[in-house]
Structure 1
Amino acid sequence: MKVRFIRFVEEIYDVEDKKESKEVWIVTTNKSICAETLWKIIHKRWDIENNVFHQLKTECHFDHCYLHSPTGIEATVGFMIIAFNLTQLYFFRNIRGFRKKDFLQIDIIEDLKDEMLLIKDWGNPIFNSA
């Protein structure tokens, strides 16, 4: 199996026309894939990293897993991904103009939690008197 090393150098200019170079190395065993396709794969991977994994780590506090069995970890991750997808579906399908209004998702979630605490008849154990 022959390994192929590919080096990408990207020049980024900021507002003051300062040039910054980013260098990325890729190692692949696939000789038939072109460099442009590899570049697109890198950028898509960073989209996933910055959006999905960052959200799970910062907003869902998934930086430490308290389970140690593979089945438990898989179930927990599955439930968290389902909850994340349902939340995103709610934001983008039920809130009109969500993309254009620059709402912070955490603010909407906090508002929903506050509204749920105001409703006393929904069986919230906080309001049950002992």
Structure 2
Amino acid sequence: MPNSDIEVRFIKFIEEIHSSSKVETKESWIITTSKVTSVETLWKIIHKRWEIENNTFHQLKTEWHLNHCFLHSPEGVETVLMFIIIAFNLMQLYFFRCIRNFREKHMLQIDIIEDIKDEIFIIETGWSNPLFVKT
């Protein structure tokens, strides 16, 4: 039986995106049952969700072949999915902890992965990378 005490809020966000020659209006809707979350916080949640969608899910699908089904049993699919996500998280940890400021250096993750795979990764002077410390 549905709970009639739940209050649902419909919130509409209108955002203006200014480019050099035009102004684009973007409209977003969110439905929430939270009475205490501010509108500003909800707007930040929407934008963080799109950042996750654009970065993580897109990369998992295009670079990690997550769109291919390797096995067909439910347990097998779940196991392979978990291994792919663990590998993805370890690579992200490597990029953000070991190759600091790779984005500021305009380095693409896919290029670094290809270089590592091809064993031609070049260490720049001044890098603090524990995997490439000369002994």
User: Please, what TM-score do these two structures have when normalized by structure 2?
Assistant: 0.74
Cα deviation digits, residues 7-33 of structure 1 (max 9, x gap): 0000110022x1110000111122222
**Alignment of 1:7 onto 2:51:** no
- Partners of 2:95 and 2:40 lie apart in 1 by 34
**Contact 1:92–1:99 (CA under 8 A) maintained in structure 2:** no
RMSD: 1.9
Q: Where do 5+ consecutive residues of structure 2 fail to align?
A: 1-5, 121-135
| Greater helix proportion | 1
Q: How many residues align?
A: 115
Match of 2:46 among 42, 46, 52: 42
Match of 1:26 among 24, 30, 46: 30
Q: Secondary structure at the match of 1:20?
A: strand
Match of 1:82 among 80, 86, 97: 86
In the other structure, the counterpart of 2:131 is: none
- Partners of 1:68 and 1:75 lie apart in 2 by 11
**Alignment of 1:105 onto 2:109:** yes
- Partners of 2:45 and 2:100 lie apart in 1 by 32
| Aligned-residue offset at 1:97 | 4.1
**Contact 2:70–2:80 (CA under 8 A) maintained in structure 1:** no
* Equivalence map 1:86-97=2 (5 Å): 86-95=90-99, 97=101
In structure 2, relative to structure 1, the CA distance for the partners of 1:68 and 1:31 (3 Å cut) is farther
- Partners of 2:84 and 2:9 lie apart in 1 by 37
In structure 2, relative to structure 1, the CA distance for the partners of 1:96 and 1:25 (3 Å cut) is closer
Identity %, equivalent residues: 67
Q: Where do 5+ consecutive residues of structure 1 fail to align?
A: 117-130
In structure 2, relative to structure 1, the CA distance for the partners of 1:93 and 1:32 (3 Å cut) is closer
**Contact 2:71–2:77 (CA under 8 A) maintained in structure 1:** yes
**Contact 1:3–1:28 (CA under 8 A) maintained in structure 2:** yes
In the other structure, the counterpart of 1:120 is: none
Cα deviation digits, residues 57-90 of structure 1 (max 9, x gap): 0101112323333322222121111111221222
